[in-house]
């Protein structure tokens, strides 16, 4: 058997309920409080190829977004301006 087949051999190629599964996976990935999330994640990723692929793609996108879109430097005068305005309204 080919390697790639072996790797996904345990996983079914069709997801039984793609809406429900993807929603659940995204909830977990997004840090929401999902009961038994660790077990759900483990079993879905092990058993279902579409779930496995969806999760890893979403995870990768989330990671690049966080790493590449949050490093906007705050203009140096902004904090000073805010403090000055606050002193004025105090």
Partner 1 sequence: MSEVQRKKYTEQEKNKIFDGEFMPHIDSMYNFGYRLTFDEDDAKDLVQDTYLKAYRFINSFEQGTNAKAWLFRILKNSFINDYRKKSKQPSKVDYQEVETYYNSDDVDYSMTSDLRVDSVKDMLGDEISNALNSLAVDFRTVIILCDLEGFTYEEMAKILDIPIGTVRSRLHRARNLLKEKLRSYAQNMGYNTDEEG
Contact positions vs partner 1 (CB under 8 A): 18-19, 22-23, 26-27, 30-33, 50, 56-58, 60-66, 68-70, 72, 74-75, 78-79, 81-82, 85-86, 89-90
- From 3-11, 15-23, 28-36, 76-84, span contacting Zn ion (CB under 5 A): 15-23
Nearer to Zn ion by Cβ, of 19 and 70: the residue is: 19
In a 13 Å sphere around the CA of 15, the CA atoms on its Cβ side amount to: 20
> Which of Zn ion, partner 1, none lies near 38, with the C-beta cut-off 5 to 8 A by kind?
none
d(CA 45, CA 49): 7
Angle at 15 between CA 57 and CA 37, to 5 degrees: 65
Q: DSSP H helical segments within 1-90, as ranges?
A: 3-8, 18-29, 37-47, 49-68, 77-89
Question: Which residue is associated with the tokens 């038994």?
Answer: 36
15 part of the interface to Zn ion, by CB under 5 A: yes
Point out which residues bind Zn ion (CB under 5 A).
15, 21, 48, 51
């Amino acid at each position: 058997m080919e390697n790639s087949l072996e790797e996904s051999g345990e996983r079914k190629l069709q997801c039984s309920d793609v809406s429900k599964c993807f929603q659940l996976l995204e909830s977990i990935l997004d840090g929401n409080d999902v009961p038994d999330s660790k077990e759900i994640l483990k079993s879905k990723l092990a058993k279902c190829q579409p779930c496995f692929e969806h999760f890893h793609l979403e995870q990768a996108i989330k990671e690049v977004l966080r790493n590449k879109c949050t490093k906007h430097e705050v203009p140096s005068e902004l904090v000073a301006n805010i403090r000055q305005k606050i002193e004025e309204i105090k």
